[in-house]
Structure formats: structure tokens, C-alpha cells
Copies of this chain bind each other. A is one copy, B any other.
Amino acid sequence: MLTQAQNDRLTQVGSGTPGGNLLRRYWQALCPAGEISAEHPKKRVRILGEDLLVYRGDDGSINCIAEHCLHRRASLFFGFIEPGGIRCCYHGWKFDADGSCVERPFESRTHTGLCMPAYPVKELGGLLFVYMGPDPARAPLLPRWDVLVRDDGKRTIVVLPVHDCNWLQIQENTVDSVHTYYLHGHMSVVKNLPTLGQGRFFYRPIESYDWKLCDWGVEKTLVYGGDKPEVEIRPPLIFPNILRIPEGPVEALHFRVPIDDTHTRIFWVGLKPGAPGKTTFEYSPDEPIGDGEKALQTFYGQDRIVWETQGVVFDRSLETLGASDKGIVMFRRMLAEQIDRVERGEDPTIAVVHDDASNEMIKFVSATRPRYDDERHVFDET
């Protein structure tokens, strides 16, 4: 249970908020690289409460600046892309890739130092990432997650519909290990859903659970009893807002990117091992949850139902946690500590990569091994 002030601190994403300041110290997924092309060189993206323009420069570079011109605030989306930058359609003020105002027509003196917010963009695995932190020179490396780097298969990016809720409740679900039993396992079996295959895997008695903090975030272990006692080591929650998960043969990343405090965009990236192929992207249709019948057909939809019904910004002063929520508590504490660090002027320490050697390819594995008898544990209840 959190106070309202604690909840605000963890959930708010806007410029100048403690939580927003932390999120800005991480590269955030912006959009599929394929959305920005010679034919459609401009795209408006709202992210962390800021309205940005991503555009392909005259030289093919991908740039990202604040959407609204610093002069009279017209949208640069309607501007003219020219060699050396973009020109506002209203009065022709021109800005280079760094946001510097390099031309002010109809003005006698050049006002030196006029500058729009501009953020560095990098592409990896077909996805664009932006760094919105205060000092790009202090930016960590863009982590080379295996799913984005591997070339031994076909990579697909899916842009999911906008979720009308805060990012944190989506991310908390990732460290909420035991939810798989009822939401995915029991649900699939009881309703005989298309998710039944993997659902059966989750529908085994859980004997114990464990979480450990690690350099990437939070590691998750689950011990199953029943006919085939096993220990499942899931890939860690990647701090602050990434899920890394195997989905059958596919290795997947889910980027949960805050649009603002009350909306979240998810980019799903999957690598299906096999013949290498060109990375493609697609849009997942937005199906309103409604009575849930359609949403229940997929794991994602099952999760979405609980994310969104927790409230637009889940009011954590109303929750009642148990021991099985220990991972959530650990993740929140990690998040609060990292927010505190940034507030003190320090750098975050979790899931940041600063040397190329460690960044060739960041691999995660999930593994299942037999559970030995001395690891046995039984809950009192059920």
C-alpha cells in the first residue's frame, strides 16, 4: 500500500516530475523505423507527456525535436524539410537537427542561442529509440538486447493499441509471477481457450516463488509441484519498463512506453529463430475490452483486462498486498531508490550499459529445471 504522494512519485512521467526524470535517463522506444520514410518523413509522437516530431532529414538522418516551434508554437509537423534542418510553415524559422535556430527570416539580427528541445535518436532492430535525458553526453549506451540484435531468425515489431492506463501497472504485472496460474492457466483451462497450450504449463501447483534484485532489474523464480516438479527461472524484469519473455519458440521484448500519465503505448518485438528475414512491423487492431470475451482469447488480452480495470492510474492506497506480491514491492523500492538517485543529481545504476564490450549482445535466458525434493514448500492455504 502506498500513500497518494508515493503513488504519484512512481507513476508520473511528465517533464520535471521525479518519475519522469528517471524515465528520461533511459532510451525509450519511439516508433518502428519503417514509419519514417522518404514518402512519409514526419511523424508526431507523444511520449512522457511531451509532443515530439520525428522526421527524416534531407540527408536521411532521423531527428527528433519538440513538435511546436519556439517562435509562435505552430506545429512543425507541417514544416518544410530542407538541407540542414526543418523550417516552420508559419514564418519560416529554421532549426537544425540539434534544435538550434539557424534562420529567422524577416529579422535583422540573428538571435543567438535560440534552441528547441531536441533529442538523440538511434535505430536498433527496426525500432527507433530516443534519449530524452538532460545531457545526451551522459546518456548510457542503447542496450543491444538480443531480440533486437540476433540475425538468426525473422524479427517482427507489433505496435499495440494505446492502453488507457499508467505504465506502472503494466510493468508491475511483469514481476507478478504468480498471476500466471489463475489469469492464464486457470482461465485457459476453465474456458477452454486458444491459450490452452501454454496455459497448461502455468496451471501447475505453485510451491514457492522468489525474487532477486539484479543489475538489470528483478529476477523471478517460480517452483512448480505436481506431477512434474520444476523450477522455472524467468528472464528478469528489465528496469524500468521492459518485459523480456519467451513466447513459445519466439523470444520477445515488450516496451511499455508512457505516452503520458494515463496512456501507454506498447511495442512488441519478437524474434522467431529460423531463416533470417527482413524486420517488418504491423499494427495490432484496437479491440475494446467490453465483456472481455474477445480479449480472453490471447495472453496479452487477458493481461490487458487486469491492467486496465485496475484504474486509469491504479490507486495503490487501495490495495492489500500479500507475500506473493514481494516482487512488486521489491520493484517499487528499486524504482523509488533510482528516482531518489536522479533527484540527488546522481546517475541511475540499474540496467545501464556504458561500455561497448558489455553491449555486443545482451542475452537473457529462461530455463526450467527439475525441482529437487529438499526445495519443496507447501502453502497452508488452498
Nearest residue (CB) in B for A191 is B80
Which segment of A56-64, A238-246, A317-325 sits at the interface?
Answer: A317-325
- Contact across chains for B309 and A91 when beta carbons are under 8 A apart: no
Q: Which residues of B contact A310 (CB under 8 A)?
A: 68, 72-74
Picked from B72, B91, B186, B305, the residue with its CB within 8 Å of the CB of A92 is B186
- Is A201 interfacial (CB 8 A cutoff)? no
- Contact across chains for A324 and B89 when beta carbons are under 8 A apart: no
- Contact across chains for A379 and B92 when beta carbons are under 8 A apart: no
Which segment of A6-14, A25-33, A108-116 sits at the interface?
Answer: A108-116
- Contact across chains for B92 and A181 when beta carbons are under 8 A apart: yes
Integer count of this chain's copies in the complex:
3
Which secondary structure dominates chain A's binding surface? loop
Q: Which residues of B contact A182 (CB under 8 A)?
A: 80, 87-92, 105
Q: Which residues of B contact A178 (CB under 8 A)?
A: 91, 105-106
- Is A306 interfacial (CB 8 A cutoff)? yes
- Is A75 interfacial (CB 8 A cutoff)? yes
Q: Which 3 A-B pairs have the closest CB atoms?
A: A75-B309, A92-B182, A106-B324
Cβ contacts A to B, 29 pairs, < 8 Å = A71-B319, A71-B320, A73-B310, A73-B311, A73-B315, A73-B319, A75-B305, A77-B292, A77-B309, A78-B305, A80-B182, A89-B305, A90-B306, A91-B181, A91-B182, A91-B324, A104-B381, A105-B182, A106-B178, A106-B209, A106-B322, A106-B324, A106-B381, A107-B322, A107-B379, A108-B323, A108-B380, A108-B381, A114-B320
